[in-house]
């Protein structure tokens, strides 16, 4: 059995083949990645911003230290500002932490969010840029990204979520999005879990700074800033 095409059928077949070739050779733009959503959205009416004297007094009673010690850490870490103008918690994304938590697998391909050494590149300046950086990293590894940022008035790293009383980093970040009181409660639990209440109580700022801020505390004068802030609030 033979198949014979008419002239019109052959011309139509050629047109279809040519069109198929055009479609196969056409370079289509890849769709933009879907931004990784934060672990939980804030309440419809926004986060609860502000700490009251009663909040500080309750925290100081639990830590058995003076209120001035807590306010000193609050001042030095965030200048008493837990949320940005867009209603999201104040954060600082740490690419060197993200690099470590992801086994350095993104260092060569995504150097804007992952590099091995602290201080290798300057931090992003604005909160919007820092949140963009965090959400970009979350598209690569969601859990590692949220663990690699510090949050709120006391700038506690996400990887410390268990020390703050939260089983997952998602639960921790969701609390950080709700209120500044949650920031304070997380700080209190973190201090208790890490047995740092003695340092706060006794004003051992260098010892507190070493464990709270990390080994680079002396380079940025973290302990002296704490001492000055405590003296100011205690006056």
pLDDT digits 0-9 by tens, 129-143: 999 999 999 999 999
* Residue 69 domain-assigned (yes or no): yes
CB-CB contact of 67 with 233 (8 Å): yes
pLDDT over 50 at 31, yes or no: no
Instruction: Select from 48, 89, 82 the least CA-distant residue to 173.
Output: 89
- Residue 228 confidence (pLDDT) above 80: yes
| 82-105 residue pLDDT tens | 999 999 999 999 999 999 999 999
Contact 190, 77 (CB under 8 A): no
Q: What is the pLDDT of residue 215?
A: 84
Residue 106 resides in a domain: no
Is 8 inside a domain boundary?
no
- Is residue 129 within 8 Å of residue 150, measured between CB atoms? no
For residue 3, is it within any domain? no
Whether 213 and 195 have beta carbons less than 8 Å apart is answered as no
CA 99, CA 68: separation in Å to the nearest integer?
36
Q: Residue 228: which domain range?
A: 53-90+152-234
Predicted TM-score (pTM) of the model is: 0.80
- Inform me whether the pLDDT recorded for 28 exceeds 60: no
Where do runs of H (alpha helix) occur along the chain? 7-25, 53-63, 67-78, 95-101, 127-140, 142-147, 169-178, 180-193, 197-202, 205-212, 222-234
Residue 52 CA to its chain's centroid (Å) = 25
CA 158 to chain centre: 7
pLDDT at 81 over 70: yes
Q: How confident is the model at residue 120, as a pLDDT?
A: 79
Across all residues in the chain, what is the average pLDDT? 86
- What does the block give as tokens for 191? 């201090």
**CA dist., res. 134 & res. 144, Å (int):** 10
Q: Which residue has the higher pLDDT, 158 or 32?
A: 158
Minimum mean pLDDT range among 3-7, 164-168, 191-195: 3-7
Residues 6+ apart with CB under 8 A from 96: 115, 116, 117, 118, 120
Residue 146 has pLDDT above 50, yes or no: yes
- 97 compared with 41, residue with greater pLDDT: 97
Q: How many domains does the chain have?
A: 1
Residue 172 is assigned to a structural domain of this protein:
yes
Q: Would you say residue 25 lies in a domain?
A: no
Q: Which two tokens stand for residue 97?
A: 């932490």
Q: DSSP string covering 169-192, please?
A: HHHHHHHHHHBHHHHHHHHHHHHH
More confident residue, 181 or 16: 181
Confidence of residue 15 (pLDDT cuts 50, 70, 90): low
């Amino acid at each position: 059995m033979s198949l014979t095409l008419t002239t019109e059928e052959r011309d139509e077949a050629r047109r279809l083949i040519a069109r198929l070739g055009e479609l196969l050779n056409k370079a289509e733009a890849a769709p933009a990645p879907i931004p990784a959503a934060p672990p939980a959205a804030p309440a419809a009416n926004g986060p609860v911003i502000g700490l009251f004297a009663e909040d500080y007094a309750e925290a100081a009673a639990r830590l058995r230290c003076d209120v001035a010690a807590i306010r000193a850490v609050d001042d030095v870490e965030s200048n008493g500002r837990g949320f940005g103008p867009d209603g999201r918690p104040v954060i600082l994304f740490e690419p060197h932490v993200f690099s470590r938590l992801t086994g350095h697998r993104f260092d060569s391909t995504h150097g804007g969010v992952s590099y091995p050494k602290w201080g290798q590149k300057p931090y992003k300046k604005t909160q919007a840029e820092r949140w963009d950086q965090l959400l970009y990293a979350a598209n690569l590894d969601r859990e590692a990204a949220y663990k690699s940022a510090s949050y709120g008035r006391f700038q506690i790293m996400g990887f410390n979520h268990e020390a703050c009383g939260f089983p997952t980093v998602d639960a921790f970040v969701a609390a950080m999005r709700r209120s500044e009181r949650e920031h304070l409660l997380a700080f209190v639990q973190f201090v208790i879990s890490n047995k740092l209440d003695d340092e706060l109580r006794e004003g051992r700022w260098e010892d507190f700074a070493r464990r709270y801020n990390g080994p680079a505390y002396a380079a940025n004068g973290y302990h002296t800033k704490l001492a000055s802030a405590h003296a100011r609030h205690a006056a």
